[in-house]
Amino acid sequence: MKPKLKEGTHFTQRSFPCDKCGASLVFCSDEGALRCQYCGETNRITPPKLPIYENDLDDALYRLERTKKVNLLDDMHAKCPSCGAGFDMDAHIRSTKCPFCATPVVTNLDIFMPLSPKSLLPFAINQKEAKVIFKKWVGNLWFAPNSLKKFTETDSRFNGIYLPYWTYDSQTHSDFRGQRGDTYYERVTRRVYVNGREEFVEDMEPRIEWTPVQGSVERHFDDVLIGATKTIPRKLVDALEPWDLENLENFDDQYLSGFESEVYQVALDDGFHYAKEYMSYEIREAVRHRIGGDRQKITDLKIYHDKSTFKYILLPIWTAHFKYNKKDFRFAINARSGQIKGERPYSKTKIFLAVALGLAILGTFFLAAEMENGMISQHFDQIHIRLDNF
Ligand SMILES: [Zn+2]
Ligand SMILES: [Zn+2]
């Protein structure tokens, strides 16, 4: 399908050829510059040193409401600026590599989107360093299959990608009603039997006194981060925080050269919905703190958002797929901090051996100590259940 073009605009692709030898330049994290893979020539990236602005959320949502019909396309047809081959790109991919000659290709896809990114964090960890991190992580995994360890020797499926994120700021005012519970102790007399004889003892029993409370809390939220990708599970994306957002650079498409990058697939208002859920959780904690006492009930909570702003940014990650027993496992590394998060396979053989060894040890231990009281069979049951779960 052809992209719906605004008048006078075309879906274009470009690469960044080296002035010296014509080969393509890719972003090099060691130098923070574009570098030629063949002759080593470097090109500084000099994005304008502008302050990175927060955008008014209400205003943007109002304008988006009116432009909602400008929608993207299933896939976009691209032409490699180096070898001229044509290929299709998924509609959410902004930059990639030519499937025929591997030239980094950066498109102008953002001009067809209602919003375009204004800032990003450049890659600070290169592919080699990412592999070292990955290898160390795999080395520390219990029960990882050997084929996973072998996978770390190859790098073909290590992919550097800029993911789209929304960040939201909001000034919140919340009115609440609730109950504060304070514990007090009441003296009670209890009847007990000692050696068959009836006796009365005095005891202190805890009770809770509830008092109605109401009030309000103010909270300011800064840069609540919501991943706007749908290609990588939210669980993985969220686990890569924190990000050093204080180091955001102004957007320049030269940073993308050599990496894949995505445009947002979670809409701005949906992203704010997730952000509000997170904020509401924090606000409830603040309300409980304000209510005080030993226990708290919140019966009514109204949250008002004011001066909400957002930024659309790109953050760099390394990812890899791994297939094991026909299942797909995925890993992601924060390419700023090196933080890694992954889904992981278990080796049934290794678990079996470990359990067998454990049984042997347990067996010796319990046979010696607890033969008669049925503890052994209990332990065996637990181990069987665990095996089934794997
Ligand atoms: Zn060159
Ligand atoms: Zn090509």
Run of H or E residues at 309? strand 295-324
Report yes or no on whether pTM surpasses 0.85.
no
pLDDT band at 350 (very low <50, low <70, confident <90, very high): low
Task: List pLDDT tens digits, range 201-233.
Answer: 998 999 999 999 999 999 999 999 999 999 888
The alpha carbon of 160 and the centre of ligand 2 are apart by a number of angstroms equal to 19
Run of H or E residues at 127? helix 127-139
Task: List pLDDT tens digits, range 86-112.
Answer: 988 888 899 999 988 889 999 998 888
Say which amino acid occupies 146: N
The alpha carbon of 74 and the centre of ligand 2 are apart by a number of angstroms equal to 22
Proximal ligand: closest to the CA of 24: 1
Nearest-angstrom CA–CA distance, 314 and 309:
17
Nearest-angstrom CA–CA distance, 261 and 229:
10
Proximal ligand: closest to the CA of 98: 2
Q: Is the pLDDT of residue 390 over 60?
A: no
Query: What is the pLDDT at residue 375?
Result: 43
Which of residues 273 and 343 earns the better pLDDT score? Answer: 273
The alpha carbon of 37 and the centre of ligand 2 are apart by a number of angstroms equal to 16
Query: What is the pLDDT at residue 19?
Result: 87
Query: What is the pLDDT at residue 379?
Result: 39
Query: What is the pLDDT at residue 143?
Result: 63
The alpha carbon of 82 and the centre of ligand 2 are apart by a number of angstroms equal to 5
The alpha carbon of 329 and the centre of ligand 2 are apart by a number of angstroms equal to 30
Query: What is the pLDDT at residue 2?
Result: 47
Task: List pLDDT tens digits, range 296-316.
Answer: 999 999 999 999 999 999 999
Render the burial of 260-292: b for 16+ CB within 10 Å, e for the rest.
Answer: bbbbbebbbeebbebbbeebeeebbeebbebbe
Query: What is the pLDDT at residue 386?
Result: 38
The mean-pLDDT minimum among 122-136, 149-163, 238-252 falls in 149-163
The alpha carbon of 99 and the centre of ligand 2 are apart by a number of angstroms equal to 7
- What's the chain's average pLDDT? 84
Q: Dihedral sign for Cα 100, 104, 108, 109, please.
A: positive
Under 8 Å CB-to-CB from 107, ≥6 apart: which residues? 11, 12, 13, 14, 76, 78, 89, 93, 94, 95
Task: List pLDDT tens digits, range 41-66.
Answer: 998 888 778 899 999 999 999 998 88
Q: Is the pLDDT of residue 368 over 80?
A: no
Q: Is the pLDDT of residue 389 over 90?
A: no
Proximal ligand: closest to the CA of 85: 2
Which of residues 145 and 237 earns the better pLDDT score? Answer: 237
| Mean pLDDT, residues 111-126 taken together | 93
The alpha carbon of 77 and the centre of ligand 1 are apart by a number of angstroms equal to 28
Query: What is the pLDDT at residue 268?
Result: 96
pLDDT band at 388 (very low <50, low <70, confident <90, very high): very low
The alpha carbon of 270 and the centre of ligand 2 are apart by a number of angstroms equal to 37
Q: Is the pLDDT of residue 26 over 90?
A: yes
The alpha carbon of 35 and the centre of ligand 1 are apart by a number of angstroms equal to 8
Nearest-angstrom CA–CA distance, 380 and 360:
11
The alpha carbon of 120 and the centre of ligand 2 are apart by a number of angstroms equal to 27
Nearest-angstrom CA–CA distance, 142 and 147:
14
pLDDT band at 80 (very low <50, low <70, confident <90, very high): very high
DSSP string, 11-75: --EE--B-TTT-PBEEEETTTTEEEETTT--EEE----------EEHHHHHHHHHHHTT----SE
pLDDT band at 177 (very low <50, low <70, confident <90, very high): very high
Q: Using CB atoms within 10 Å of the CB of residue 326, give its burial: 0 to 12 exposed, 13 to 18 middle, 19+ buried.
A: exposed
Torsion region of 135: left, alpha or beta (phi above 0 gives left; psi -120 to 50 gives alpha):
alpha
The alpha carbon of 16 and the centre of ligand 2 are apart by a number of angstroms equal to 13
Q: Which of 92, 78, 76 has its CA nearest to residue 15?
A: 78
Proximal ligand: closest to the CA of 35: 1
Nearest-angstrom CA–CA distance, 125 and 134:
12
| Mean pLDDT, residues 343-352 taken together | 67
Q: Is the pLDDT of residue 295 over 70?
A: yes
Proximal ligand: closest to the CA of 25: 1
User: What's the helix, strand, coil split of the chain in %, to 5?
Assistant: 30, 40, 35
The alpha carbon of 141 and the centre of ligand 2 are apart by a number of angstroms equal to 39
The alpha carbon of 214 and the centre of ligand 2 are apart by a number of angstroms equal to 66
- Please report, for residues 150, 221, 318, the alpha-carbon distance to residue 338 in angstroms, rounded to integers and kept in the order given: 21, 26, 9
The alpha carbon of 81 and the centre of ligand 1 are apart by a number of angstroms equal to 17
Query: What is the pLDDT at residue 135?
Result: 84
Q: Which of 259, 358, 246 has its CA nearest to residue 313?
A: 246
Say which amino acid occupies 383: I
